[in-house]
Amino acid sequence: MTGLLLAAIHVLEVIFFVGLAGSAIVVLISFVEDFEVLLHRDKPKARHREQTDAPQTHPGALPNLS
């Protein structure tokens, strides 16, 4: 009976430390992303687009009837 209990405790320890490592990875990724936001590097560089007088619509847009 004690052997079964010790095995269960060992499994719980492994699960705990795997979860702890996963949480640490998430915290590191979040820190890097937040640091990039603070440095204003989260915005992609704007590409130059030719400006026309016609409004920009996507191909499936309904016509403006007003």
Give residue-wise pLDDT tens across range 13-64: 999 999 999 999 999 999 999 988 888 765 666 665 555 555 666 676 676 7
pTM score over 0.75: no
User: Domain count of the chain?
Assistant: 1
Specify if 66 maps to a domain. Answer: no
Is residue 66 helix, strand or coil? coil
d(Cα 57, Cα 25) in Å, to the nearest integer? 42
Structural domain harbouring 26: 1-43
Do the beta carbons of residue 36 and residue 42 sit within 8 Å? yes
Residue 8 in any domain: the answer is yes
Look at residue 31 and tell me if it is in a domain.
Answer: yes
Higher pLDDT, 46 or 5: 5
